[in-house]
Chain A
Amino acid sequence: MFGSKSRTVLAVLAIILVAVAFPIQRTSQAQGEVTGTLNVMGFSLPDEIATVRVDQFKAAYPDVTVNITEGALDEQQFLTAIASGNAPDVVYMGRDVLSSYAVRGAIVPLTDCIDSMGIDMSQYRQAAVAQVTVNGEVYGIPEFFNSIMLFINNKALADSGLTPDDVDVSDWDKVAEINQALTRIEDGTLTRIGFDPKLPEFLPLWAMANGVSLLSEDGRTAQLNDPRVLEALQFTVGLHEPAGGRQAFMAFRDTWDFFGAQNQMVSDQLGVFPMEQWYMNVLANVSPDADITFKAFTGREGNPLTYATGNTWAIPRGSANPEAACAWMKTMTSVDTWVAAATARAELRAEAGTINTGVYTANRAADEVIFSEIVLPALTNETFKTGVEVILSVQDSAYAIPANPAAAEFKQAWQDAVNRVLNGEQSAEEALAQAQEEAQAALDEAWSQQ
């Protein structure tokens, strides 16, 4: 049929064809085509930090139609969408619950996505990556990174003859003294809380300050009945006493204009409290002249300490467009995108004449650019500049509850225990013993199903 010359030509052509085609095929397998529709769940577009990044993605991937179902992640909606085969392509969720979904197969490991898109996981903060790593595999791309610091009302301290230097959370006896000194009751009515330990949500922080995590590093053993957790709980619950107990404390706290110009710091209704850094942004907007000092929260050894929280992107099982989802996750959390968003915010704040305290991401490389080139050079307000510096200084001291398959139940167990103690229903020992039993049972059950 073919002569030897023809066979040679055909063979050469075949070799060339294979040589040319193979890399193309390999590229298409690795990279995937980024087109089609991308359905996003659990995300909102409340500000320029969100919209600018979405615009960046649209510019980078014009062939992708983005549909965002705005609103916080609704568990019912998410689960039924997956169960019915109508999963979104990419989902935005809290890092604290990711492991529960990961172990049940609701979201997929991102090994291929990270490899094919060349996502550099080393640029993300270690504490955030640990939260999205389950059984050695990465299931999420971390987004924001919330850290905690102390917010100190200088006026309250001055009234009591104290200075911010007196606020030293490494010395719990001193904290109790300051709390007593700052608490103000007039005509039998509580008018200022001295020190709000932020229970139940910050128990993990106080326990860590006392040298113990609520959960073992491998995520298998609850440590809620550890004497150091008990001590942390008893101490923080005790901080409510000068205010007249938890009821008086909460009845007063519920009246605060927390997000408004008459917030508890400006209105002198609170002395000191630990809080996430996003609240500094709130204060910078609504009360830029507030007389506040920001300080790092520390453990009892004096070491800076923060409890990391934040969200993550993940790809649900059944995602119809995992390539676009992967591209989305990479773009939304990349250095360039974050910098573009932070620049937009800086410009808007400059136009409005308001303070810009920046945006705190889980991408360490992005933060370095944002704060060294955009935020700090333009920040003239010394109070908030200090606040920004404090946050930047504690980010690497972040602690997070290890990933585990019973994340929701574990959290519920210790939070309920704290509430039972605060409500006077149980002693701290009883509450933590019950929580330990409940949490361990949930962990054992969840791990046994892996």
Chain B
Amino acid sequence: MLAGLAFISPWFIGFLVFTAGPMIASLGLAFTEYDVLNPPKFVGLQNFQRLLTDPRLGLSLGNSIFYTVLHVPLVMMVALGLALLLNRVGKAAGFFRTAFYLPSITPAVAVGALWLWILNPRIGLINRSLALLGIVGPGWTTDPNWIKPGIVLMSLWSVGSTVILYLAALRNVPPELYEAARIDGANGWQQFRHITAPMISGTIFFTLVVNTIASLQIFTEVYTMYFGNMNSGAAASAGLFYNIYLFRQAFEFLRMGYASAMAWLLFVIIMILTVIQLRTSNRWVYYEGA
């Protein structure tokens, strides 16, 4: 028992100091007016009342939810498709695994800068490719209506980590199940529907939860693309995601108390979504031995 506690103590101390501690502190700050430079002043529920009347909060939350609704299913489908392909590759699997995973470890700032060019409506790779097919591409970086879809496209850049998770899950599906299904005359779709999907449903559920949490907190790439030095103004409303607005309130407008209240609101929203996902999971997630 003591040895076990000793082994987990580095993580536990790190969690207390770098995660739980700041979280508790931010909860306290949410009830104060605090600009970092001067002592916090208790203001009761004032910051939470402000949350209800701030029009940009609704806008930024709406943007983040819109992005999440587009991003999560798309990433999961693309990742699953790629994992299924990789699962069929023989000797070259190692190379492709690396190739798909590498973009995931590219620094987010670099990804943002790179995708500004890829998405450029006139000279970007995407619209040039569409032009070859006779399609006039949209203004990914200049049309407010296409800003979020463009960001969703960019998010596929880091699909590699989800691919690796799905691939590991696919490798764990017992081959004799497929063999039995084939003998019974099941086609490819039926094999996927009745064997693959249930057997990897635990991993699908995990990626659903994790990707939902991550996408609601998107910040770095979008800030680099549209709110840093390369600010074009097109994304002033359409690209104002929740965490970008939170960052502004905290570090540009020096409203750390209000930003803390915003952070806790996001925490509650994520928690509610996660609980819903957990509650519904028992209808579609299959655990071996459960």
Q: Which residue of A100, A101, A252, A415 contacts B122 across the interface (Cβ within 8 Å)?
A: A252
Does B38 touch A at the CB level, under 8 Å? yes
A30 CA / B139 CA spacing, docked (Å): 61
Among residues of A, the one whose C-beta sits closest to the C-beta of B252 is A408
Partner of B233, one of A101, A105, A423: A423
Partner of B252, one of A75, A104, A250, A422: A75
**Chain A 328-367 residues near chain B, CB threshold 8 A:** none
What's the nearest-Cβ distance from chain A to residue B216, in Å? Answer: 21
A378 contacts B by Cβ under 8 Å: no
Residue A80 interfacial (CB < 8 Å): yes
In the complex the two chains form, is A409's CB within 8 Å of B38's CB? no
For A200, the closest partner residue in chain B by CB is B233
CB neighbors of B among A37-57 (8 A): none
Interfacial chain A residues near B251, Cβ < 8 Å: 75-76, 79
Q: Indicate with 1 or 0, residue by residue over A189-201, a CB within 8 angstroms of chain B CB atoms.
A: 0000000000110
Majority secondary structure, B binding face: loop
Q: Which of B37, B238, B251 has the most CB of A within 10 A?
A: B37
Bound together, the chains give a CA A406 to CA B237 distance in angstroms of 21
Neighbour of A82 across the interface among B37, B120, B122, B237, CB < 8 A: B37
Q: How many residues of B contact A (CB 8 A)?
A: 25
Q: Is B248 in the interface zone, CB < 8 Å from A?
A: yes
The answer to whether A247 has its CB under 8 Å from any CB of chain B is yes
B237 contacts A423, CB within 8 Å? yes
Q: How far is the CA of A105 from the CA of B35 in the complex (A)?
A: 10
Beyond A200-B233, A251-B121, A423-B144, whether A79 also contacts B38 by CB under 8 A is: no
Interface residues of B in 139-197 (CB under 8 A from A): 139, 141-144
Contact A247–B254 (Cβ < 8 Å): no
B206 touches A (CB below 8 Å): no
A254 touches B120 (CB 8 A): yes
Minimal beta-carbon separation of A71 from chain B (angstroms):
13
State the CA gap A252–B141 with chains docked (Å). Answer: 11
Q: Let me know if B57 is at the binding interface, CB within 8 A.
A: no
Say yes or no for A295: interface residue by CB 8 A criterion.
no
Given the interface pairs A255-B123, A412-B248, the reply to whether A83 lies near B36 with Cβ below 8 Å is yes
- Docked pose: A419 CA to B236 CA in angstroms: 7
Which of B37, B139, B236 is the one whose CB lies under 8 Å from A104? B37
Q: Please indicate the chain A residues that have their CB under 8 angstroms from the CB of B237 in the complex.
A: 416, 419-420, 423, 425
Inter-subunit contact A420/B236 (CB<8 Å): yes
Measured between beta carbons, the chain A residues less than 8 angstroms from B248 are: 412
Q: Is the CB of A79 within 8 A of B144?
A: no
Nearest B residue to A106, CB-CB = B37
**Docked-complex contact B139 and A251, CB < 8 angstroms:** yes
Cα-based distance from A79 to B253 in the complex (angstroms):
12
B232: interface (CB < 8 Å): yes
Q: How far is the CA of A423 from the CA of B122 in the complex (A)?
A: 18
Please name all residues of chain A whose beta carbon is closer than 8 Å to the beta carbon of B238 when the two chains form the complex: 423
The answer to whether B234 touches A79, judged by C-beta atoms less than 8 angstroms apart, is: no
Q: From A80, A82, A254, A412, name the one whose CB has the most chain B CB atoms within 10 angstroms.
A: A254
Inter-chain contact B36/A80, CB cutoff 8 Å = yes
Check A254/B141 contact, CB under 8 A, given A75-B252, A106-B37.
yes
Cβ of A246 within 8 Å of any chain B Cβ, yes or no, is yes
A272 adjacent to chain B (CB < 8 Å): no
Quick one: which of B240-290 are within 8 Å of A by CB? 248, 251-254
**Cβ A247 vs Cβ B143 within 8 A:** yes
- Is A220 at the interface (CB under 8 A from chain B)? no
Taken together as a complex, chains A and B put the C-alpha atoms of A100 and B142 apart, in Å, by 32
Residues in A whose Cβ lies below 8 Å from that of B142: 246-248, 250-251, 254
Query: Cα distance A349–B38 when bound, in Å?
Result: 48
A317 adjacent to chain B (CB < 8 Å): yes
Contact with B along A52-85 (1 / 0, CB 8 A): 0000000000000000000000011001101100
Most A CB within 10 A of own CB, among B144, B234, B254? B254
- Chain A hits for B35, CB < 8 A: 104
A104 with B141: in contact, given A83-B36, A252-B122 (CB under 8 Å)?
Answer: no
CB distance A104 to B38 under 8 Å?
yes
Q: For the complex formed, measure the closest distance between the CB of B145 and the CB atoms of chain A, giving whole angstroms.
A: 9
Q: Tell me if A432 is interfacial: C-beta within 8 Å of chain B.
A: no
Which B84-127 residues have C-beta < 8 A from chain A? 116, 120-123
A251 touching B141 in the complex, CB below 8 Å, given contacts A79-B251, A82-B37: yes
In residues 222-274 of chain A, which contact B (Cβ within 8 Å)?
246-248, 250-252, 254-255
Question: Which residue of chain A lies nearest to B127 when distances are taken between CB atoms in the complex?
Answer: A251
Q: Is the CB of B236 within 8 A of A251?
A: no
Query: In the assembled complex, how far is the CB of residue B136 from the closest CB belonging to chain A, in whole angstroms?
Result: 10
Taking CB as reference atom, which chain A residue is nearest B123? A255
Contacts A104-B35, A255-B123 given: A247-B234 contact, CB under 8 Å? yes
Q: Does A418 touch B at the CB level, under 8 Å?
A: yes
Residues from chain A with Cβ under 8 Å of B121 in the complex: 247, 251
Give which listed residue, A250, A255, A408, contacts B253 with CB less than 8 A.
Answer: A408
B120-A415 in contact (CB<8A): no
Known: A247-B142, A425-B144. A79 touches B37 (CB 8 A): yes
A-B contact pairs, 23 of them (CB 8 A): A75-B251, A79-B251, A104-B35, A104-B37, A246-B142, A246-B234, A250-B141, A251-B142, A254-B116, A254-B120, A254-B141, A255-B120, A255-B122, A408-B253, A408-B254, A412-B253, A415-B236, A416-B236, A416-B237, A419-B234, A422-B234, A424-B144, A425-B237
5 tightest Cβ-Cβ pairs between the two chains A and B: A419-B236, A419-B233, A251-B121, A247-B142, A250-B142
Question: Told that A247-B234, A250-B233, A251-B120 touch, could you supply 19 new A-B pairs with CB distance under 8 A?
Answer: A75-B251, A79-B254, A82-B36, A82-B37, A83-B36, A101-B37, A104-B35, A104-B38, A104-B254, A199-B233, A200-B233, A246-B234, A250-B232, A254-B141, A408-B254, A415-B236, A423-B144, A423-B233, A423-B236
